[in-house]
Structures are given as C-alpha cells and as structure tokens.
Amino acid sequence: MDKLAIQGGIALSGEVTISGAKNAALPILCAALLSAEPLKFSNLPHLNDISTLLRLLGQMGVGVTLEGSDGLVLDGGGLNNPLAPYDLVKTMRASILVLGPLLARCGEARVSLPGGCAIGARPVDQHIKGLQAMGAEITVEQGYIHAKANRLQGARICTDMVTVTGTENLMMAACLAEGETVIENAAREPEVVDLANCLVSMGARISGAGTDVIRIQGVERLHGAEHAIMPDRIETGTYLCAAAATGGEVRLLRTSAAYLDSVVDKLMDAGCDIRLERDAINLKAPPRLKSVSLRTAPYPAFPTDMQAQFMAINCVAEGVATIRETIFENRFMHASELQRLGADIQIEGNNAVVRGVARLEGATVMATDLRASASLVIAGLAAQGETIIDRIYHLDRGYERIEEKLARLGAQVRRVH
C-alpha cells in the first residue's frame, strides 16, 4: 500500500492548476446512460473514483474512449446490462448514481446497495422513495436494489433531508419520465447545476437547478452533447488551506471562487489575503493564522467536504475554534490522527474544540477517508520534521497527482511504494 512521506515546515509558494470536479464528473458521466448517442466530455480529472465508474459503465455496455489528456467520449448506444455489481459499488458509494438513469432508459436496474462507509451510515432511502413516487417497483434482496418501471411518471417529490446524489439521481431519472417532476428540498450544490447544464445540452427540460425546487419536464429521448466539467471547488479549497497552514503564497489556476464564498470568507477571517480573478485565485497567508469556528451545512453554507482541512489549519492557528459537523454523524476520525502530530482537539458528539498550538511535530498517521487524508497532508506540511501518511489510496480517489502538484508548490513530498 502506498504511503506519502512529507518533510514539513516549508511555506508553499507558486502556481498550480486545479482539475475538474470529481463530484460533478461522477453524476455527469452517469448521464451518458440516458442517451443512445455519444457524449463528449472535457476537463475530466484523473482519479480512481472516475476509473471505477468507467469500469462500471463499460461493463454495462457503454463505449468508453479516452481523448487527449482530459477528454472522454461515452457512447450509451450499446447499453445492454443494467447491473451494478457489489465488487465495484462497494469501493464507491457514488455508484448509486447509475440507478436513476438505468431505470429511466432500460425500464429496470439491479444496483448493489452501497452499504456502510467510514463517515457514517449514509442510507439511500431518499433515492428509493423518490423513484417509487415516480412509479418504480423497488425491492431490496440479497444486498441488491431491484427496480422496475415501464415508463417512469412525473411526480412531486420532497426529500426528507437535502441529499446531493439523491437530487442528482432523481433529476436524471425525471428527464425521461412522462410529464413533470418537481423535486422539493433539492440540493443546491454547484455540482447539481453542472449536471443540469449537461442534461439541458442533451435536450432535457430542467428549470430551477441551483435552487431548492427543481422542475423537470420529461422528454422521449436525450441526444448527444459536449460538456466541460466544472473546476473542483474542494480541491481548490484544499490547496488554499495547505498554503494558509504553511504561511505560503500561491496562485491557483483554472478555478474560480464563484462557488467557494463560505471557504474564502473563513480564510480571510483567518487572516489570509485573497485576490480573486475570473479563473484564478491568489492567496497570501499571514505568519500565523487566527482560529476560525465553523458549522457545516448544505450549500451555500460551509461544505462538510472542507471540514477536515479547516480542522488542520485550526490546529496551528492562534486561538480556539469550535467546529460543528451537521451533515455526517461520524466525520471526525482525522482528529485522533491530528493529535498524533501534537494537535489539541476535544471531540464531543458532533462538536470539536480545537486549541491552536505553536507547532506540530511530524509522526506516522493513517488516512481514514478522502477528506480526512487531505487534512493529514495539510497538517504534515505545516508540521516540523517528517510525517508519513499511510493508506493514501483514499487520497487517490479524489486528488489528482497530489504529490506532483504539491511538489510544484515547493513541498517536499514523495510517494513510498
């Protein structure tokens, strides 16, 4: 298993290019299941989660052709096997995103239940409830969701909580349903809007994406289209935090702060000087950061996917920060690993109190999930001495060539096989 060895204590400095968004690419690639015509994508990130999804789509009969460094053509003309087996689904919960499109296009789907995962139970009941409201017959047997419907019918759906992939699954299914579907309490995340834009360019009739009520008028079929994946706002935020924690100065290219207001605001509260351009972000950190308290919540509030990285920067900031996690019930696993580096963190339920310390010391730590891993990288970069991060396969799921990008910013990072 690969490890990352970081020599900390070096201020990051320089330019780095941000990749396409993982959480936009995953649902958008699933949209290829909705059409018999080819879809052409650009700005696709090179990530293990994307490779897993392409393997899954390939097994279903979708043609997969890589084009250039970040392009891809998916051809759903050959779709013949609406099955998502356990061995692929278990490694990536987002595989559930094939359920809605398969059911809408093929009239049936068999998708393995994603099961538990490190950051909480994460059920898919809202996906199932929404599809049932659209007329699907759904049974769960032997760990598989079996869904059937002659043609889905438009419906009014109000999800019990804001769910990102739930909204995306139902929006995709509704594109080919008969009549109008209204999704209330919809997720407003920018990735939902990117998916809606792709679907609209395929001929879907969608309004309200980006608000909490999305209306979809079903159509008979969707056609081919071209779509560029939006920049990854979480990768962007992670590099901003890495620069902030090390007292660095960086310029991030091919990205935008348009969807990062809550994160940029917090970094400014921490004392960073941030200058925004249309597709670049410049950050200059102060010699010592100030603590910033936060509470995670659905977009446009502070993203849960940035919580761990902000815990890392608070570890070395001046003052005391309170972090409240409201989306997932078990998303503080990074805290005990950060403590191994000398951090002062107290956890009580979904609240963490972080008292900044003057310095962290390098140690061996273990990555437990994707964003937790990112927080350990940030802390390792800020710590004195060497930090070894074990189990970095989590990082490879969501950060493209992380050691190469960090090295470009002057970090001393190497992958140990």
Residues that bind ligand UD1 in the complex, under the rule CB under 6 A: 23, 26, 93-94, 120, 122-127, 161, 163-166, 191, 304-305, 327-328
CA 80 – CA 77 distance, rounded (Å): 9
Sign, Cα dihedral of 126, 127, 130, 131: negative
CB of 11 or CB of 312, closer to ligand UD1: 312
CB of 126 or CB of 181, closer to ligand UD1: 126
User: Least distance in Å: CB of 100 to ligand UD1?
Assistant: 12
HSE at residue 118, side-chain half, CA atoms within 13 A, is: 14
In whole angstroms, how large is the CA radius of gyration of the chain? 21
- The angle subtended at Cα 303 by Cα 392 and Cα 360, nearest 5°, is 50
- Measured from the Cβ of residue 156, the count of other Cβ atoms closer than 10 Å reads 10
CB of 66 or CB of 161, closer to ligand UD1: 161
For the chain, helix (H) and strand (E) counts, in that order, are 14, 24
Give whole-number Cα distances, 181 to 150, 157, 165, 170, 213, in Å: 17, 7, 17, 9, 10
CB of 94 or CB of 243, closer to ligand UD1: 94
User: Least distance in Å: CB of 303 to ligand UD1?
Assistant: 6
Strands 63-67 and 38-42 turn out to be unpaired
User: Least distance in Å: CB of 30 to ligand UD1?
Assistant: 10
User: Least distance in Å: CB of 362 to ligand UD1?
Assistant: 28
- Note if 117 is an active site residue: yes
CA 121 – CA 118 distance, rounded (Å): 8
CB of 78 or CB of 123, closer to ligand UD1: 123
DSSP letter for 176, please.
T
CB of 224 or CB of 303, closer to ligand UD1: 303
User: Least distance in Å: CB of 238 to ligand UD1?
Assistant: 13
User: Least distance in Å: CB of 307 to ligand UD1?
Assistant: 9
Amino acid at 229: I
DSSP letter for 90, please.
T
Q: Which of 117, 158, 272, 315 is catalytic?
A: 117
Give whole-number Cα distances, 3 to 117, 205, 251, in Å: 22, 46, 27
List of E strands, 233-272? 249-253
Q: What is the dihedral of CA 205, 210, 214, 220, to 10 degrees?
A: 20
User: Least distance in Å: CB of 304 to ligand UD1?
Assistant: 5
The two three-digit tokens of residue 69, written as one number: 């460094």
CB of 302 or CB of 411, closer to ligand UD1: 302
Which residues are marked as active site? 117
